[in-house]
Structure 1
Amino acid sequence: MILDTARYLSLHSLTTFSHVLLVRDDAGEPKTSVYGDAERVILSPQTQRRADRMHIRDEANLGTGPLASHAWGVRTREWGLRVAEALRDEHGWEAQAALEMARATLRGVGLNFGSTPNTAFLTKVMVFAPEATGTALARIIEEHRAELEAWVALVAEAAASAERKKKTKGKGKTAAPADEEEDTEAEDEAAAGEEKAPPMPSRIKARLITGLAPADAIDIALYGRFLAEVAGAGNVDGAIQTTAAFSVSPAAIIRDFFSSADDFKIARQRAGTNFTDALARLNAASPFDMAAGEQTPSGYALDERGAGMTGQQNFFNGTFYAHSVLDRVQLRRNLANGGMNPEDVERAARDAELAFVNAFVNAVPSAKKNTTAAPGTLPKLVLAHGGPRPYNYAAVFEKSIHREEGVPSLIAAQRLLKHHAMITKKQRVEPGAVLSYDIATIEFLDSLRDAGMLGPNEVEHPAELSPYCPAGQPA
């Protein structure tokens, strides 16, 4: 069985990007970090993981890919709104009552909400839960409506009582002597304790927490979740590890000065005269008849100089090394712990692996996609291999690659495969499979094969990087 000797699937890729800005820091600059002998541009792990996760989900939503029939999770602050929506639409609650009850019950299980009008019904933290969570929690609330409404009334009464006592104590209160300060603080704490809101009935709380559990959401099983606010809600250790991708060459950042044209100004410049009815003149084919420099009806002369707007944006170039690992055992454990039927766990795990490998190959962060077309980029080399432990090859590029050495992506491919050959020999792990979408890299692989030095099996489709690929029919 694969899991006996290859618990971990290690994935490595080399992808060359041209004039992109896939991720930026809080100042709008490309993210950089010094590694080895040079500063590198980096792509943060969370950026890559979101791109992979959304790629997997988008394929499933289109009814394609191996995970089309599986359940999913949603990461959001809006679960209060989703619960309220389900109470209103599915159980006939009045809208405001549904909102208040949804917030009160989620507070009762440990989630806190914002304090401004815009965030009053948004949780303070993002909660990653199955997509059916809103419906599931609303059903539980409806079943226990009478008990929950009584509990909410008690909570409101306790809060009002505490507020009244606070105002009463504040009136005429003088500073206590130093030797009485500790006693006063203790009394205040005791009084506050007496006014604590009553806890939610335990059996209802337990059911609501179960509604927040990961269940069979495939992306929660893959990527995990951490929900410290709700005890017992089911934190999940992710089955995927991701490193920050980084450029194999020193950082190459382009400061791009740009100017944007004002269409009305350009129209006047082309005609050589001013005009009064700007929109009509813009769409007219005949020359403008207003004399140059003549004032507009609004009383000021139109400025004909320069661009409509100028500014600066940053791009970067380079070949990036990316690395992710799938823990096959952890994935199966997460699916089983989520409540999936034992007979379905193995099939779901294999489908998830195929979908993840496909996303690792194809997913690209979508930042500035309309002005860079970055999502159209495919990797020049992808290497996949199993092993009893993960294998991270980032150290291969501690010494950065410079232009005088040759084409960086080819030099990087040579280094990566040479290092992998050494690891397979010394660690005695499987050579795995390799995939390329670059002619020069494919020719390099051909030369290694002809010399009997290509260890990995060259494949033609991402699914073939996994041993679970259906025979003869790549997923």
Structure 2
Amino acid sequence: MTTQNLYLDINVLQTVPSSNLNRDDTGAPKTALYGGVTRARVSSQSWKRAVRSTFREDNVDVGTRTKEAAQLLVNELKQQDTTLDDDAAWAKTDAAFKAAGVKLNKDHETGALLLISRGQLEKLAQYLLANDDLDKKEVKKVLKGDQSLDLALFGRMVADNPELNVDAAAQVAHAISTHEVVPEYDYFTALDDLQGEDETGAAMLGSIEYNSSTLYRYANVNVNELVHNLNAEDAVHGVADFIKDFLLSMPTGKQNTFANKTLPSYVLITLRPDTPVNLVSAFEKPVDSRDGYVAASIDRLEAEYQTTQQFVDTPRLNVVLGKADSQIGEVATNLADLLSKVTGSLTEAIQDEDTNA
């Protein structure tokens, strides 16, 4: 059983052209004031949703976040026992949610979104079909086990019954630009296809606010918490899946309008034995440039990493992708090589802690 701290930091620099990845309530790109200037911002919630969507595309085990978890359980009960009618399935389901301490409204919906894994639904249905008298502890145990990767990483809060809460193993920061941004506006018109050649005027007109930026993105994983939520082997695979899909995913706001899907320019992965470290301080003074922000941002980030070393323990691993002459860690030749280096070191670290526990 692991006892020592073990954290994985993911630092990413990614440049994005004209775009509106994540809108506020007025439709404008979200921003943040940092270092005295306005920065482009993409919320952590937005990027976590993008990661969960990419998990699905990659056939990674993900749960379902819904108010209709009871309906999902009814469906699973009837799939496992084809002789069960609707009334009997709903009776078992209502009893299960009551035993779990989760309230259902008159429409059999939870009061808030509930993230539930496929494994939890299957195991809970099996338990209900095998037992007429429900043990509250067993029901809650089922609803805490068999966690999907997104549940284990991002956690779950159940207001009705905190016993069902799952502590998140990952933290995701709001991405912000390394430099100041100035909002721009696209004024557009649309013509009616059936409009005659001699007719003038637009059938529609409007405007869209957008910006372009080099974003600093950061996330970390409490590896021991992820092992607790899953198991050692699944945690290592889960970290690799999370790194890959965190790097390759992107929120889809106005994607069809701007076609702004890019890839990271630089990645730094650090495995730490003491504490996670967000290196955003590298950009508290905004990068100022007229010939691109990426190169200067990389230099700033690596310099900030060196500065932080006077405050923390020596990391177990540093891996860099995107700068062939980096002096702060191993240089990966591609994403597959980066993931291989990380999972190898992670496996060794977990085994060392298990040995020393």
Q: Shorter-chain TM-score category? A: 0.7 to 0.9
Corresponding residue number in structure 2 for 1:409 = 294
Residue 399 and residue 264 in structure 1: after superposition, are their counterparts in 2 closer, same or farther (change >3 A)? same
- Please say if 1:421 is aligned against 2:306: yes
- Cα deviation for residue 251 of structure 1 reads 2.5
1:311 corresponds, among 206, 212, 227, to 206
Q: In structure 1, give the amino acid aligned to 2:254.
A: K
Structure 1 position 321 matched with structure 2 position 206: no
Aligned partner of 2:192 among 234, 244, 262: 262
Higher alpha-carbon Rg: 1
Secondary structure of the residue aligned to 2:194 is helix
**What is the 5 A alignment of 1:12-51?**
12-51=11-50
Within a 5 Å distance, the mapping from 1:363-442 to structure 2 comes to 363-374=249-260, 376-387=261-272, 388-404=274-290, 406-424=291-309, 427=312, 429-430=314-315, 432-436=318-322, 442=323
Question: CA contact under 8 A between 1:245 and 1:322: conserved in structure 2?
Answer: yes
Judged with a 3 Å threshold, the aligned counterparts in structure 2 of structure 1 residues 224 and 357 are, in CA distance, closer, same or farther, namely same
> Counterpart of 1:247?
177
Any conservation in 2 of the 1:354–1:463 contact (CA below 8 Å)? no
TM-score by length of 1: 0.65
Give the whole-Å Cα distance in 2 for the aligned partners of 1:87 and 1:215.
Answer: 17
Question: What's the CA shift string for 1:17-37, capped at 9, x where partnerless?
Answer: 111111112222211121112
What is the SS of the residue equivalent to 1:464? helix
Deviation at 1:95, TM superposition (A): 3.3
* Alpha-carbon distance in 2 for matches of 1:83, 1:324: 33
Distance 1:106 1:22 in 2: 38
Which residue in 2 is equivalent to 1:187?
Answer: none
The worse-fitting range, judged by mean Cα deviation, of 11-20 and 24-33 is 24-33
Q: Which runs of 5+ in 2 are unaligned?
A: 346-357
Alignment of 1:272-351 (within 5 A): 304-335=199-230, 345-351=231-237
Instruction: Give the 3-state SS of the residue equivalent to 2:238 in structure 1.
Output: helix
* Distance of aligned partners of 1:396 and 1:3 in 2 relative to their CA distance in 1, 3 Å threshold: farther
**Which letter maps to 1:95?**
D
1:80 to 58, 70, 76: 70
Q: Unaligned regions of 5+ residues in structure 1, if any?
A: 62-67, 148-202, 273-303, 336-344, 437-441
Matched, 1:132 2:119: yes
1:176 aligned partner = none
The equivalent of 2:141 in structure 1 is 210
Q: Distance in 2 between matches of 1:3 and 1:414?
A: 35
- Of the candidates 455, 466, 470, which is equivalent to residue 328 of structure 2? 455
Deviation track 1:248-288 (CA, whole Å, cap 9, x = no partner) reads 111232222211221111xx32xx5xxxxxxxxxxxxxxxx
Distance in 2, Cα, partners of 1:8 & 1:105: 37
Paired amino acid for 1:86: E
Separation of aligned partners in 1, 2:152 and 2:289: 42
Structure 2: how far apart are the matches of 1:435 and 1:394?
A: 18
Which protein has the bigger helix share?
Answer: 1
**Is the 8 Å Cα contact of residues 44 and 245 (structure 1) preserved in structure 2?**
yes
* Paired positions, count: 340
Equivalent of residue 157 in structure 2, options 203, 226, 235: 226
CA contact (8 A) 2:66 2:115 kept: yes
Of the three residues 362, 365, 369, the one matched with 2:248 is 362
Structure with greater strand percent: 2
Say if 1:111 and 1:346 are closer, same or farther in 2 by CA, change over 3 A: closer
Return the TM-score normalized by structure 2. Answer: 0.84
Q: Deviations over 1:402-453 (max 9, x none)?
A: 334x4222211111111222334664524712112xxxxx4xx54xx6xxxx
Amino acid aligned to 1:413: I
Q: How many Å separate the matches in 2 of 1:20 and 1:250?
A: 15
The structural deviation recorded for 1:212 is 1.9
Cα distance in 2, alignment partners of residues 54 and 3 from structure 1: 33
Q: Considering only aligned residues, what root-mean-square deviation do their CA atoms show, in Å?
A: 2.8
User: Which of 66, 88, 101 is the aligned partner of 1:110?
Assistant: 101
Identity %, equivalent residues: 26
Q: Which amino acid aligns with 1:353?
A: V
1: CA distance between counterparts of 2:222 and 2:27?
35
Specify the alignment match of 1:178 in structure 2. none
**Do the aligned partners of 1:130 and 1:214 also contact (CA within 8 Å) in 2?**
no
Q: Which amino acid in structure 1 is aligned with residue 221 of structure 2?
A: L
